[in-house]
Amino acid sequence: MRFTLYKNNDSTNPRKRTQRILAAETDRLCYVGNNFGTGALKCNTLCRHFVGVLNKTSGQMEVYDAELFNMQPLFSDESVESELTLESEIKTFREKVDSCIEAFGTTKQKRALNSRRMNTVGSESLNRAVAKAAENIIDTKGVTALVNDAKRDDMQDDSLYLPPCHADAAKPEDVYKFEDLLSPAEYEALQSPSEAFRNVTSEEILTMIEENSHCSFVIEALKSLPSNEESRDRQARCIWFLDTLIKFRAQKVIKRKSALGPGIPHIISTKLLKHFTCLTYNNGSLRNLISDSMKAKITAYVIILALHINDFQIDLTTLQRDLKLSEKRMIEIAKAMRLKISKRRVSLAAGREEDHRLGALCIPLPPAQTVDRQSKRRRLT
């Protein structure tokens, strides 16, 4: 019998450096044993073993450390088992569970497994069909035409929340007509709630600033109300509706009309719910949700109202802060509305200064720019 001892080459790992494999060969069989893994003997870790070698000449015995190996015969069939073991290691946990279901699962589990596999095959076939159809469309129409279609779709998406734009108008006030914002009946309904703004005094404005009850744009607009009675009435109604839109935008879900606050005319509350919310169903009840697209629509209407209030030039930075928007998002919406963007240095309290972005509605209008929604835009590569 011929013996061969193999040891692990990794001498740095304390677990692996003591690993040994002992092989023994005869003319008929091979035997293999190791001191690690599931086949190792536990007695090697519980006690020490020694081998004594007697020197017959001197009569003395030398003692050496020893280990016990459980030698098992190695048959050719075990190579098949090793292949199966390797295959099992390659499989994912999901595949192993599926194999167990196939072998030992109930009828219901096997039926669910077959359905899932059929769905997987169906989705793969669908993906291949979609990919092939996309290649055919690209070959037929060309990449340039498809990119133009995508841009056109983006512009149509923008029009869903941008108010009607009359690009051929001769005057700035006709680009976004006031009648498209408020109908005559809605404008008339604003007379009563806007009375407090129409008759506001300097002391009341100071109280508003101290209590922080209204946003900065509304405060500045109230400070510069015209003295002419008709113009003052129109401005007060526009400022009140703008203030209502900003407060309405700050909410997320409207569960009932009373949540809009007291003093809002019925026709105005109906307009807010109909044009600036999405109707959703949740937990057995209907709710009015102010989604991100609706918030963008409200922002666009606020900008147009501010333009009509401030002779078609507004401080976008002030409005952006009142609406709690990022500067980038505010500029995107303003450019989509074809405003001319500029920058101006503004003096603040304590002698400080900062840059503000201004937006102006000028004739002729700048080229239209779609809002850059990276997550939603379809890209062709």
Q: What is the pLDDT of residues 299-312, one digit of tens each?
A: 999 999 999 999 99
Q: Which two tokens stand for residue 161?
A: 């929340």
Gyration radius of the chain over CA positions: 40
- Distances from the Cα of 201 to the Cαs of 128, 197, 208, in angstroms? 70, 9, 11
Greater model confidence, 256 or 127:
127
CB-based contact 280:286 (threshold 8 Å): yes
**For residue 364, cis peptide bond before it (omega within 30 degrees of 0):** yes
Predicted model pTM: 0.56
pLDDT, mean over the chain: 81
Share of the chain above pLDDT 70, in %: 83
Region 168-186: mean pLDDT is: 90
Report the pLDDT value the prediction gives residue 242, as an integer from 0 to 100.
92
Query: What is the spatial distance between Cα 239 and Cα 233, in angstroms, rounded to a whole number?
Result: 10
Share of the chain above pLDDT 90, in %: 19
Task: Say if residue 83's pLDDT is above 50.
Answer: yes
Region 43-55: mean pLDDT is: 85
Q: Three-state SS across 78-96?
A: HHHHHHHHHHHHHCCHHHH
Query: What is the spatial distance between Cα 242 and Cα 135, in angstroms, rounded to a whole number?
Result: 49
> Could you tell me the strand order of the sheet in which 72-74 lies?
2-7, 20-25, 30-34, 72-74
- Using a CB cutoff of 8 Å and minimum separation of 24, what contacts does 57-63 make? none
At 344, give phi and psi (nearest 5°): -145, 145
Q: 3-state class of 286 per DSSP?
A: strand
Q: Which two tokens stand for residue 257?
A: 């009309």
* pLDDT band of 380, cuts 50, 70, 90: very low
Residue with tokens 């937990």: 283
Residue with tokens 């009373």: 258
Region 328-351: mean pLDDT is: 86
- Average the pLDDT over each of 147-161, 267-281, 301-315 and give the range with the smallest value: 147-161
* pLDDT band of 149, cuts 50, 70, 90: low
Greater model confidence, 161 or 366:
366
Task: Say if residue 364's pLDDT is above 90.
Answer: no
How do beta strands 72-74 and 278-282 pair? Answer: unpaired
Q: Which of 87-101, 177-191, 366-380 is predicted most confidently?
A: 177-191
Region 29-44: mean pLDDT is: 81
Report the pLDDT value the prediction gives residue 48, as an integer from 0 to 100.
85
Q: Which two tokens stand for residue 88?
A: 């099992």
- Average the pLDDT over each of 2-16, 135-149, 215-229 and give the range with the smallest value: 135-149
Closest CA to 157 of 352, 356, 333, 357: 333
Region 196-214: mean pLDDT is: 90
Task: Say if residue 145's pLDDT is above 80.
Answer: no
Torsion sign (Cα): 120, 125, 130, 132: positive
Q: Which two tokens stand for residue 133?
A: 């159809």
